[in-house]
Amino acid sequence: MPMPAHEIERLIKEALPDATVELTALANDNDHWSATVISETFRGMSRVRQHQLVNAAFGDRLGTELHALALTTRTP
C-alpha cells in the first residue's frame, strides 16, 4: 500500500511544523520517494539525529506503507 505525496508531507509537517518539504518521485509508483526537508529544528543536530526525527514522523508506517524514502536534511 503506497503512501501518496501529500500524506508524506503532512506527516513530516505534523512533526516539524516549520519544515519545508520537497518530494521527488524516484519511480512513478507512489512508493519510492526522495525528500529534502529543511527545518530550523535541525540546527546543531547531527545528521543522524535529523534523519531520526523525520523517520519518527512515520512511526511504523516507514518500511511498510512507505517503502523507501531517501532523505536529505538541512537547516534554512
What residues make contact with other proteins under the rule CB under 8 A?
47-48, 51-52, 55, 62-63, 70-72
Task: Return the number of the residue (24 or 52) whose C-beta is nearest other proteins.
Answer: 52
The least CB distance from residue 13 to other proteins, in Å, is 22
3-state secondary structure of 19: coil
∠67-7-23 over CA atoms, to 5°?
70
Assigned C-alpha cell, 10: 503532512
